[in-house]
Structure 1
Amino acid sequence: MSDDHTTGSGPDETALARIETEVAMLMRLGEATRRATGTAEHRVLDRAAYVILRHLAVAGPQNVSALAARLNLDGSTVTRQVSAMQRDALIARAPDPTDGRGTVISPTQSGLHRMAAVRAARTRLYGDILADWTPGDRDTLADMLARLNEALENRTRR
């Protein structure tokens, strides 16, 4: 995809303008693809619940503050999401072993099962989308996306 309206004049500015355009399109098309995917597997969790469950599955039980900090979200936003997830039996609360006044959140088996179903459906979808890419190109894309996410994460922690 090309952008005839670059702000810079050199090759680096042109590349940065292309990256900005491609990331904007990636976000728009990613959301459009999610909405257009007809399988129920993609809809068993909303986006926020999926991200929270993915993090908890890797990191283990967390209090809301740690979860909010890790996901770069406001604590009140995470509290609302966690409350909805608890009503849906996706997460459970337990006393925080380091602070008796607080609680930690952990995924339930139902939450992990639903998260795994969404992850498998998304993996199949990307397998279809990238079917004509070589394994090397897929690896390169995964590596570059990981680097981009790491850079974005580091930027939000400044």
Structure 2
Amino acid sequence: PEESEDAFYRSMEELLPILEREGIKFNIDPHPDDFVEDGVEAWRVIRGLNSKQVGFVYVAPHTFHMGDQPEKILTSVGDRLGAVYLSDSFDHHKSHGLRYITNPPGNAVRVHQHLKIGDGDVDFNELFKLLRTTGYLDREDALLVSNVFAEDETFLDVSRYQLQKIKELVDNA
């Protein structure tokens, strides 16, 4: 984690002047196994860069890695929310942390899923209500991205399904 954090700040020292000069927006996703996973802490890091060019990506399947606190994250990020990635995942904290069983027990593994909306534990109705109340869904530049990774063999059907679900969630929010 320390090496990753150091590399991040060195990269930002090089990138920020370019982003500022060129007017480029750059959005960051707190990712599982990065030096900071918690969404609120990640926002503090991003905000600490002191640049309006850097925004936040809310990745729905990372909800449980980010501390399962979408309301706190999205209201804190406000208009610096740059994109929302939409796929589902299971809450790995459920079943006393034994949601996934690997053999042999005790393997140092973490499951990282991006399933179809509705195939996991993310509360998309709550998420879309938050996106509506924070004004994100009303923004001209709002970006909702389907990012299912686990369905390559049926990608056309999954893509159509995701589009339909996203439209329904927007309409019902």
Higher helix share: 1
Q: Same fold (TM over 0.5)?
A: no
| Structure ID, larger Rg | 1
Calculate the TM-score normalised by the size of structure 1: 0.28
